[in-house]
Amino acid sequence: MLSERPFYRLLRHCVDRMFHGGEGSGTGEVDASIGVILAILAAPGAFVSLALVSKYGAFFLWFREYYVKDLVGSLRRGGESLHFDPFTASLPDQYFFIVLSMAVAAAVALWKWDSLLPDSHDYANLAHLPLRSRDIFFANLTTLLLLAAILSVDINAVSSVLFPLLACGSREVFSYTALFFGTHVVSVVLAAAFGFLGVLSVLAILMSALPYRAFRKASIYARSAVLIFLVALLTTSFSEPAKIERLERGASAWSRFPPPAYSFCRLVE
Amino acid sequence: MVVLEARELTKCYLPSVPAVRDLSFCLTEGQVLGFVGPNGSGKSTTVKMLTGLLQPTHGQVLWCGAAIQRDLLQYRKRLGYVPEEIDLYPFLSGWEYLELVGTLRGLPRKSLTAKIDALLALFSLAPHRHSAVGSYSKGMRQRIALIAALLHDPSLLILDEPLSGLDVTSAMIVKHLIQTLAERGKAILYCSHVLEVVEKVCSHVIVLRKGRTLAYGHPAELMKSAGQSSLEHAFAHLVEGDDAPQAARDIAAVMSSV
């Protein structure tokens, strides 16, 4: 059986360690099962998608386009009408989903910072067993890639279905919806993978460059810095899309550099 | 038959400061070799070299005549090791930990499950087998580590302070177990600071000091050559340590001084 093979047992062990290991493990800390964790991670995307019903829902579109227009007369500002273009309207939301996906995945990596890579427990328990070092590290790498993939899908599972359906609901062209759906899924999944692997890269660089004690001290600062960056990313996500729109008109190019902005640029193109 | 041989083992962490110097000994089937020495004498370094966790600067460790580095995996398949510092995964239960070790050693599932259940019961851990290791006492963790080292029926055992944290009953079981395993042809290297136990269970003893072999022989021979009535006194005589009674009086005097 597959589960009896040492490598697959090592894979399962790495998953256990990543979900249940780390500082404070086994000492009475709340231990959530994998299913609960995955459900919690999918929640933000689901909530945001549901909140967008008031923007894209058919009833609300009708209410804005017909009832409000009738109430205040024909509104024309600078030649613009109140006609709702779902593509234009969805640009800020698409950007936000990219940022949210990246931030949640990176937050998971920050949360499990201590258990992503083999540690002293692994050395103490596995080093004297008949296992090749490369098998241990390869199993850990495989687990990390699997985890990145699972996170990428899970964080965006609900929003990837709900948001495109909402945004494209007013369009009756299937190809448009399919293209929108595909673009959205690819961008948010890649954003999540980028967020997770980005934090992992920071961890790996620190671990490689610093002695153990310096690494333990630097970890606290590194995690705090990444957390502050993620909060800043989320809080500025509402103003970024407008800045990116102005890029086409020759505005400052600095907005291209933050990762979500770059992904968004490609998305828009 | 010689199972394990250390040939001129030397380890230098710093160029001019060898932790172990030219250590040589043989361990045969059915022999329990005691490995004793004061703190910093090189015991832990030697044990790490014998388990393949550390490369010697010079010298070799031979398993049945062949260098262990030639086929470390095969050597470790026949080796059971209990380290001095037990650092089990706190999030696994005792049963899960043993299942992990057994599976990683390639033991068949059916026999592994039966063995784990039987050994847990014999070491009085059955009621706690599904509790997290993080909640175990020191003695319970020590017993789990012992079971993990015995699961695959190793032919060579390296035990570093195996009685640490064990209650009297468990310690007696382990002492008798060591003798039973030796009678069945297992080769056992027993490292400990508790010389009373070493005197009882070991057939031969190596005394280490500053990385070198100070003495080697049967406990009775060491006691006779040192002119002492116990291995503990013989050890103190050999390593020329502090006068223990005088040191105790000095400590008590400092404690009660104003």
pLDDT tops 90 at residue A74: no
Does residue B54 sit at the A interface (CB-CB below 8 Å)? no
Please indicate, yes or no, if residue B103 is contained in any of the structural domains.
yes
End-to-end CA distance of chain A: give it in Å, rounded: 49
CB A97 within 8 A of CB A42: no
pLDDT value of position A28: 47
Report the C-alpha gap between B150 and B41 in whole angstroms. 28
If asked whether residues B94 and B208 sit together in one domain, one would say: no
Residues of B whose CB is below 8 A from A3: 103
Kindly report, residue by residue over A206-235, the tens digit of the pLDDT: 999 999 889 989 999 999 999 999 998 888
Tokens representing B76 are: 């470790």
pLDDT value of position A259: 59
CB pairs under 8 A between A and B: 70
Residue A1: which pLDDT band, with cuts at 50, 70 and 90? low
If asked whether residues B30 and B128 sit together in one domain, one would say: no
Please indicate, yes or no, if residue B43 is contained in any of the structural domains.
yes
Regions in chain B scoring below 70 on pLDDT: 240-242, 258
CB A244 within 8 A of CB A228: no
Residue A47: which pLDDT band, with cuts at 50, 70 and 90? confident
pLDDT value of position B83: 93
User: Which of A35-39, A188-192, A236-240, B18-22 shows the lowest per-residue confidence on average (mean pLDDT)?
Assistant: A236-240
Query: In 10 A of CB A191, how many CB atoms?
Result: 27
Report the C-alpha gap between A158 and A88 in whole angstroms. 22
pLDDT tops 80 at residue A32: no
Residues of A whose CB is below 8 A from B47: none
If asked whether residues B72 and B188 sit together in one domain, one would say: yes
Cα A136 to the chain's mean position, in Å? Answer: 28
ipTM of the complex: 0.86
**Shortest distance, CA B178 to any CA of chain A (angstroms):** 21
Please indicate, yes or no, if residue B244 is contained in any of the structural domains.
no
CA-closest candidate to residue A244, choices A95, A84, A85:
A95
User: Which of A126-130, A169-173, A176-180, B1-5 shows the lowest per-residue confidence on average (mean pLDDT)?
Assistant: A169-173
What residue has token string 């409000």? A68
pLDDT value of position A241: 62
Please indicate, yes or no, if residue B141 is contained in any of the structural domains.
no
Residues 6 or more apart whose Cβ sits within 8 Å of residue A212: none
pLDDT value of position A79: 43
**Shortest distance, CA A242 to any CA of chain B (angstroms):** 48
If asked whether residues B68 and B117 sit together in one domain, one would say: no
Report the C-alpha gap between A227 and B36 in whole angstroms. 51
Altogether, the residues listed in chain B come to a count of: 258
Widest CA span in chain A: 81
If asked whether residues B93 and B82 sit together in one domain, one would say: no
pLDDT tops 70 at residue A141: yes
pLDDT value of position B186: 95
Question: Given an 8 Å threshold on Cβ–Cβ distance, is B132 in contact with A21?
Answer: no
Q: What is the CATH number of the domain that holds B28?
A: 3.40.50.300
pLDDT tops 80 at residue A152: yes
| Residues of the domain holding B48 | 2-86+154-218
**Shortest distance, CA A162 to any CA of chain B (angstroms):** 37
**CA trace torsion B162, A115, A222, A265 (10° rounding):** 170
B197-230: b (≥16 Cβ within 10 Å) or e: bbbebbbbbbbbbebebbbeeebeebbeebebee
CA-closest candidate to residue B78, choices B139, B150, B129:
B150
Please indicate, yes or no, if residue B115 is contained in any of the structural domains.
yes
Eight-class DSSP state of B11: E
Beta bridge pairs of residue B27: B4
Residues of A whose CB is below 8 A from B104: 6, 9-10, 126, 129-131
Question: Given an 8 Å threshold on Cβ–Cβ distance, is A26 in contact with B90?
Answer: yes
If one counts the domains in chain B, the total is 2
If asked whether residues B7 and B82 sit together in one domain, one would say: yes
